[in-house]
Chains A and B, each alone.
Chain A
Amino acid sequence: MIKFFEKAPYAPVDYCYDVEEILYKGKSKFQEIMVIKNPHFGKMLILDEVVQLTERDEFFYHEMLTHIAMYAHPNPKKVIVIGGGDGGVVREVLKHKTVEKVYFVEIDEEVINISKRFFPTVACSIDDPRVEIKIMDGAEFVIKRPHSDIDAVIIDSTDIIGFARSLFTTDFFIAVKNCLTDEGMFVTHTESLHFHKDMVIEIQEILKKVFPLVDLYTAPIATYPGNWWAFAIASKSLSPRKTRRKFDIKTKYYDEEIHQQSFMPASLYEKLMQRKLQW
């Protein structure tokens, strides 16, 4: 069987997957897009030689990226999803009955098309009437937004050093804060606590200069190098640790208890931020 060797630049390990079949290989304006089939994980979406999702375990990432922010909010109506062209986050956001509008901002239209074609269970909500697709740089969309009417901004980007960098600048974070309501939530992935601890800290520190409340939670992701994946969550007034609505959706992993458990214990968080953790 042929093999796919992942080339995540900042991973000290190389993951290697059996390839049953290469279903698609092409180039968009921004990146190389590949879809392969693996006997264990099923279909896998690969951008610039880095695995983005697999049919088997995508829900871990999509649920955890979405529902912490959504349930910490008392009544999320308007949501911006940046990146996540596969549609996984949009699918999760629309599970919340309160949602009236999703701005789905993806820079690479080709990823949406490929996802609709090969990952219908992930892309299933992209065409929902509540979703407005914007094909553009997410940073530009947020920076140009005139009102503070958004309840949650969710970033599902590729690796931070690359063209997703515009979603990690201070200017962008300030723009996010400005577009959020007072109860609004912002969440973004910040790579692995095992392998990219300094990046996790760095982004926490940058966010703390912009938002009054900044926190960190993690989720186990089998197919992202380092596995112990960290998410930075920030808000203007509400603690993201608390759920503010009854758990009323269907999920595979996330629930109220996971919500509490996924945040780091205070002692560990403190040691992390003081750069006292050595690994």
Chain B
Amino acid sequence: MLRTFKVEKLHASLIPESTLFKVLRYVDKENIETPSLLIDSTRVKEKVSLIGRHIKNSKVFYAVKANPDIKILKFLNDLKMGFEISSEGELGILSSLHVEPERIISSNPIKSLKFLKLAASYGINYFSYDSADEVDKLSEYVPHCNVYIRLSVPNEGSEWPLSKKFGVEIDAAAALLSYAREKALNPLGITFHVGSQCTNIYNWHIALDKAKVLWNEAEMNGIKLTLLNIGGGYPINYTKNVVSIEAIEKNVNSLIYDNFPKDTEIHIEPGRAVVGDAGILVTTVIGKARRSDEDWLYIDVGVFNGLMESVGGIKYSYIVESYKHTKSKKRWTLAGPSCDSFDVIDKNVALPEPDISNLILILSSGAYTVSYASEFNGFSIPNTILI
């Protein structure tokens, strides 16, 4: 007999039926080791064709940090996708796939010297920055390279804010563009990031408004910009349906059209939106316990070996293998396998009751899961399988 999963209408509204069908077929057929991360290649391809479609003059660079699995990178490389990287490790995988340097950019405003040297010798020519020291580093290691300034923009409404660590305000940004020119770099654009998993469409409005002011200020300083890198931030369905990529892009496109020169080149750096909702983690129930009125459910993936983002507030949806002929659910405290009490994924999760060894599927878990994971306490990092 095949395994029985309790699929609910909510799950059906979050991920495509065909993705779930493929995952279930895989689970049925293979003697699957858990934890494993199954990635639906058809879904990835679909997302790749969707992203950038509604923004004129745009190029898309996959943020490798979201999931650097070589099978995924190879698949994206075959689709001639661009890549956004930050480190020698990420560059190493891309170079093993012979990705042309023209398809690689680096948008981390602070880069290590080691990475800069390797990036320069590889031929990468697009770098972001937000400090004078970075300009000095770039002018020494990658002289005359193209640079774009990271502007600070509000991240309200994004579930994974990035603004505090990076970005400068308009005046400082204008000064840094001039400084880059003084140092014989080629300052050609602006970048910002509205925050990862951004469901607030107005963040793009504010960001583009600020970018417009900076664009004009640079022009007054004699710097003609040609590139707008709008970062990532496109959201995916975790526990509810979010605003569509098409809606975000149509809106962004019209704002760009109204405010920037017609030939402005647009760079987009999605990570989560490319692989997040194409991925389903297959995990196993390893324990159940009742502790002072609280029902605990332990699975073989936790905060340390895959679900780090749950600590930052990302909530997942779960499909449970269960053979109980009842519609009733319990409210569980869901925990990972390690001995650390910090290893709690979520609380008050209403799920049907599984038995030990039953599987639990974690939806939309293709991004920022295995790339964040450690083998703390000897628990293995999920194996990524492209199906």
| A→B interface (CB under 8 Å) | 7, 9-10, 12, 27, 29, 137, 160-163, 165-166, 168-171, 191, 196, 198-199, 201-202, 275
- Which bucket holds chain B's interface residue count? 20 to 34
Identify 13 new A-B residue pairs, CB closer than 8 A, beyond the known A160-B21, A169-B2, A202-B42.
A9-B7, A9-B8, A10-B12, A10-B17, A27-B325, A165-B28, A168-B25, A170-B29, A198-B17, A199-B18, A199-B21, A202-B18, A275-B46
Cβ of A137: which chain B residues have Cβ within 8 Å of it?
Answer: 1
Given A198-B16, A202-B18: A161 and B7 within 8 A (CB)? yes
User: B24 on the interface (CB 8 Å rule)?
Assistant: yes
Whether B111 is near chain A, meaning CB under 8 Å from some CB there, is no
Instruction: Name the CB-closest residue of B to A205.
Output: B42
B267 within 8 Å of A (CB atoms) = no
Cβ of B20 within 8 Å of any chain A Cβ, yes or no, is: yes
| CA A129 to CA B26, docked complex, whole Å | 41
Q: Is the interface of B mostly helix, strand, loop or mixed?
A: helix
- CB distance B18 to A165 under 8 Å? no
**Number of inter-chain CB pairs below 8 Å:** 53
Contact call A162/B7, Cβ cutoff below 8 A: yes
Residue from A12, A191, A198 whose CB has the most chain B CB atoms within 10 Å: A198
Contact of A199 among B2, B7, B8, B17 (CB under 8 A): B17
What sequence of 0s and 1s flags, for each residue 18-51 of chain B, a beta carbon within 8 Å of any chain A beta carbon? Answer: 1011101100110000000000001000100000
- Given known A-B contacts A9-B12, A10-B12, A171-B29, A165 and B24 have beta carbons under 8 A apart: yes
Residues of chain B touching chain A, judged by Cβ–Cβ distance below 8 Å, are 1-2, 4, 7-9, 11-13, 16-18, 20-22, 24-25, 28-29, 42, 46, 325
Q: With the chains together, A29 CA to B20 CA distance in Å?
A: 25
- Which residue of chain B is the closest to A139 with respect to CB atoms? B2
B20 touches A169 (CB 8 A): no
Closest to A30 in B: B325
Q: With CB as the reference atom, state the residue of chain B lying closest to A197.
A: B18
Please state if B12 and A202 are interface contacts (CB–CB under 8 Å): no
A-B contact pairs, 8 of them (CB 8 A): A9-B9, A9-B11, A9-B12, A10-B17, A161-B7, A166-B2, A199-B17, A199-B21
Question: Given that A161-B24, A165-B28, A169-B2 are known contacts, is A198 also in contact with B18, CB under 8 Å in the complex?
Answer: yes
A171 and B25 alpha carbons, distance in the complex (Å): 10
Closest 9 CB pairs of A and B: A198-B18, A9-B12, A10-B17, A10-B12, A9-B9, A202-B18, A166-B2, A199-B18, A199-B17
Q: With A and B bound together, what is the CA distance between A29 and B21 in angstroms?
A: 24
- Inter-chain contacts of A275 with B (CB < 8 A): 42, 46
Q: How far is the CB of B14 from chain A (nearest CB, A)?
A: 11
Residues from chain A with Cβ under 8 Å of B13 in the complex: 12
A202 touches B22 (CB 8 A): yes
Per the bound structure, the CA–CA distance linking A29 and B12 in Å amounts to 24
Partner of A169, one of B4, B17, B25, B325: B25
CA distance A65 to B43 in the complex (A): 30
Whether the Cβ atoms of A161 and B28 lie closer than 8 Å is: no
Interchain nearest-CB distance for B316 vs A (Å): 19
Contact A166 B12 (CB under 8 A): no
